[in-house]
Chain A
Amino acid sequence: MRIPKGHNILIIDPSEVILNGLSTLMHQLVVGEPRLSTSWDEALKIKNLADIRLGIIGSGLIHEWVFRKSSILKAFENARWAAFIYAPCYYEQDPHLDGVLKINDSSDTIRSGLKSLLSIDKPEEPQQPLSEREIEVLQLLVQGKSQKEIAHQLNLSIHTVNSHRKNISEKTGIKSIAGLTLFALSQKYILP
């Protein structure tokens, strides 16, 4: 796997202590210096904003990120975002955050969190359509058939049915049978 480069990473917080702590951890995972910034105005003046792949936002600037989000997300078009929480914060559940690191976590936990944030590029998620087989499984599933019955009816192994079921949930983001039923109705896979 390629080693991520420091200059693709932005760490931003008003506190220099926080910036130094995070960049020390970061040094063990990347080559070169991460970019540090103490304000959004300063960060937005960085050259080649599109190079930034990962932005780590400290508690001190998360509010401003939320309020200026539309322009910030646009400016850093290739960045994934993670929050580093060291003070009570209301925005941890923000859907644009790919990760939340907490000061209570051990440095090992934080390090592995950073590692996984670094290893994935910004995902592009076009909604993937279900395959024909998956649609068949879905239709039977929402009729209340058990995996065993479905396996029998479609002449598949239970294991295969189970993996179809997993893929269906992964593709649609829906786990419960009730939710999948509504999904199947909305796609006209079943009749009301």
Chain B
Amino acid sequence: MKMHTFHPIKISPHDKLITLIGSNPHVLLLLEHLNLPLLVGNQKIESYCTKNNIDTNLFITLLTLYIGLPLPTDISLPASELPSIVKLLKNSHHYYLHEKYIEIKNKIHEMHLVNPEPELSWVEKFFEDYMAEVREHLDYEEHTAFPYFLSLTQGKMSNNFQFSAKDYLNHHSDIEIKLADLKQLLLAHLPVAEDYKARRQTLQCLMELEFDLKVHTLIEEKILVPLVIQLEEQLK
């Protein structure tokens, strides 16, 4: 006997953007990553998309991720959306390297200034090493993977680069694990002195980075990679 069927909640093209932002401030970051206007006024999603030349389906899929709902299982986006997705990803790379990295680095340093325990200077090093690894991954994407993906949309398939989805996913999980470890160290193991405020701010920044990275990775793994595989199949 089937007791209950729940109907999934979906964002509708008729929802107002301002209402969504009100309960989900992360949406602001999405607009920024997409270079879309911040003054959303009273517009419904559909007319906002039309006015700003972005595919409504793609936008709703991204909104769904940014408000923390699971990715719909039935997404199907045309390969023509690939360049917009790549642009969004590149903008978020910029946000990691030029905004979050500096913010977190400064916060960790502040923490160390008020807490002289030697452990705190190792945190600085840990974070530097971590970011070096992130930077390497982002570089690989921007200089190797993304150009290859874009060339596929132009019907070209280069022979000298073999994209491996598996390696790609491994990079991602490494990045996620280290960030989680840093949070764990700050909340469970490293001695606290007068650094309550700086540590809170560090953790808040880390969690903002973590949230955006998580969504970023989902976009790459669940939206971008399937599109790439589909294009590769077509070109074979």
Contact = CB atoms under 8 A, between A and B. Distances in A.
Interface string B120-131: 001100100110
A156 interface: no
B118 interface: yes
Nearest to B63: A88
A182 B20 CA distance: 40
Nearest to B6: A103
A90 B23 contact: yes
Interface in B84-125: 118-119, 122-123
A90 B24 contact: yes
**Which 4 residue pairs of A and B lie closest in terms of their CB atoms, listed nearest first?**
A179-B181, A104-B8, A173-B184, A88-B67
Given A89-B23, A90-B25, A182-B185, A103 B8 contact: yes
Given A88-B23, A127-B188, A174-B181, A182 B126 contact: yes
Given A104-B9, A182-B122, A175 B180 contact: yes
Interface string B1-35: 01111111100000000001001111000000000
B169 interface: no
A78 B24 CA distance: 31
A178 B175 CA distance: 12
Interface in A172-192: 172-176, 178-179, 182-183, 185-187, 192
Contact of A183 (B9, B177, B189): B189
A41 interface: no
A192 B118 CA distance: 9
Interface of B: 2-9, 20, 23-26, 67-70, 118-119, 122-123, 126, 129-130, 174, 177-178, 180-182, 184-185, 188-191, 207, 211
Nearest to B2: A107
Q: Number of contact residues on A: which range applies?
A: 20 to 34
Contact of A86 (B4, B9, B182, B207): B9
Given A25-B4, A175-B177, A175-B180, A90 B70 contact: no
A174 B188 CA distance: 10
Contacts of B123: 182
Given A87-B9, A179-B184, A186-B190, 4 more contacts: A104-B6, A104-B8, A107-B3, A110-B6
A176 B178 contact: yes
A11 B30 CA distance: 34
A25 B6 CA distance: 12
A178 B9 contact: no
A174 B23 CA distance: 33
A89 B5 CA distance: 21
Contacts of B69: 88, 102, 104
A105 B7 CA distance: 9
Interface string A80-117: 00000011111011000000001111110010000000
A21 interface: yes
18 contacts: A24-B4, A25-B4, A28-B3, A103-B9, A110-B6, A127-B188, A172-B184, A172-B188, A174-B189, A176-B178, A179-B126, A182-B119, A182-B189, A183-B185, A183-B189, A186-B119, A186-B189, A186-B190
